[in-house]
Amino acid sequence: MPKFMDVHHGMQGITPEALKEAHQADLDIQGDEGVDFQKAWADPESGMVWCVSEAPNAEAVQRIHERAGHPATEVYAVPIEV
């Protein structure tokens, strides 16, 4: 299944607990779109959050994030991995 990296902006001050909550919100509904969110990282200072997932397409990733209340600013396919 294709892999994706998505980016969120505007999440300044995010705490580890808030990141865990947001990630869990994605996990709770990811199966509706066939997405598998694998990991999330955050930088509270810049307000950026990054997520890695496997999904049928970028649109499925975005739909889950939107439904969970934190739409991604960008979603990138990751066609090569080492």
Q: 25: domain CATH number?
A: 3.30.70.3090
Is residue 82 a part of any domain in this protein?
Answer: no
**pLDDT value of position 44:** 98
Contacts of 77 (CB under 8 A, 6+ apart): 2, 3, 4, 58
Domain range for residue 47? 3-77
pLDDT digits (tens, 9 = 90+) for 19-52: 999 999 999 999 999 999 999 999 999 999 999 9
Could you tell me the maximum CA-CA distance found in the chain, to the nearest angstrom?
33
> What confidence category does residue 57 fall into, taking pLDDT thresholds of 50, 70 and 90?
very high
10 CA to centre of own chain? 14
